[in-house]
Amino acid sequence: QSALTQPPTVSGSPGQSVTISCTGTSSDIGSYNHVSWYQQPPGTAPKLIIYEVTNRPSGVPDRFSGSKSGNTASLTISGLQAEDEATYFCTSYTTTYTYVFGSGTKVTVL
Amino acid sequence: QVHLVQSGAEVKKPGASVRVSCKASGDTFPTYNVHWVRQGPGQGLEWMGIVFADGRDTRYTQKFRDRLTVTRDTSTSTIYMDLRSLRSEDTAIYYCAREEDHSFNFDHWGQGTLVTVSS
């Protein structure tokens, strides 16, 4: 199972919106809505920020939103803040009953 | 509140085995699945496998199928990951992560355990 494809880096100024894509196949993202996103600041464990494509866990700011179309999922950060600097990973359940992660996207706030 | 506390860093020689533990707090331990995910130096996350809530069923990604075993001890609320025939490419931080009630996401993570494989 190959990793889901994400852009290596994305950047934006404070207050801007950025979108991170996560491209898979019909064997993972295209088959299920079991797509989640994780935020990982340097030196820390990942943190769940979006699950089932569009849902936010309690405590996650509403400037984080998710969507999906076909084999591609997306994470949008609206109103970018300095504290959003981190690496973001997507993951999807697959048709072989396993999980696959994205390659990761480093978000830089200019 | 759920906490997953992992065992400390390990240094192993190539060909050796390593056991990493993940102790869970909270009374819902019997109801959730536990996954293992690893992250090589400067690398992305890699899903390795899962032990289901019943403790009997496991599933591993093809890459690790012949050298990975994940078990859980309900009496001590501890999950174990055993990786055999270590090689230098196995140097990574290993995380345990909780999946609540077939939610298909990982809502709580351990702090990570660094395993270094070096001769």
pLDDT at position B101 over 90: no
Mean of per-residue pLDDT scores for chain A: 97
Distance in angstroms (rounded) separating the CA atoms of residues A12 and A18: 7
Structure tokens at B84: 């055999």
Cβ contacts below 8 Å, chain A against chain B, sum to 58
B55 or A60, greater pLDDT: A60
pLDDT at B1: 77
Nearest CA in chain A to B36: A99
A64 near B CB under 8 A: no
Contact flag B106-A104 (C-beta cutoff 8 Å) = no
Residue B37 per-residue DSSP state: E
Tell me if B3 sits within 8 A of B78, measured CB to CB. Answer: no
Which residues in chain B have Cβ-Cβ distances shorter than 8 Å to A103? 44
CA of B72, closest CA in chain A: separation in Å? 19
Cα B72 versus chain centre, distance: 10
Contact flag B109-A102 (C-beta cutoff 8 Å) = no
pLDDT at A92: 98
Distance in angstroms (rounded) separating the CA atoms of residues A79 and A58: 19
Tell me if A109 sits within 8 A of A85, measured CB to CB. Answer: yes
B109 near A CB under 8 A: yes
Tell me if B113 sits within 8 A of B12, measured CB to CB. Answer: no
Nearest by CB to residue A45, choosing from B35, B44, B112, is B112
Nearest by CB to residue B61, choosing from A40, A89, A98, is A98
Return left, alpha or beta for B104; rule: phi > 0 is left, psi -120 to 50 is alpha, else beta. Answer: left
Mutate which: B65, B106, B107, vs A, most A CBs within 10 A: B106
A102 near B CB under 8 A: yes
Q: Spell out the residues 6+ positions from residue A96 whose beta carbon is closer than 8 angstroms to its own.
A: A1, A27
A91 near B CB under 8 A: yes
Range in A78-82, B19-23, B29-33 the model is least confident about = B29-33
Cα B98 versus chain centre, distance: 10
The string of pLDDT tens digits covering residues A21-37 is 999 999 999 999 999 99
CA distances from A68 to A53, A75, B23 (A): 7, 9, 35
Residue A71: other Cβ atoms inside 10 A = 18
Nearest CA in chain B to A49: B107
Per-residue confidence band for B21, with pLDDT thresholds at 50, 70 and 90: very high
Range in A22-31, A73-82, A86-95, B73-82 the model is least confident about = B73-82
pLDDT at B2: 83
Mean pLDDT of A77-93: 97
pLDDT at B31: 81
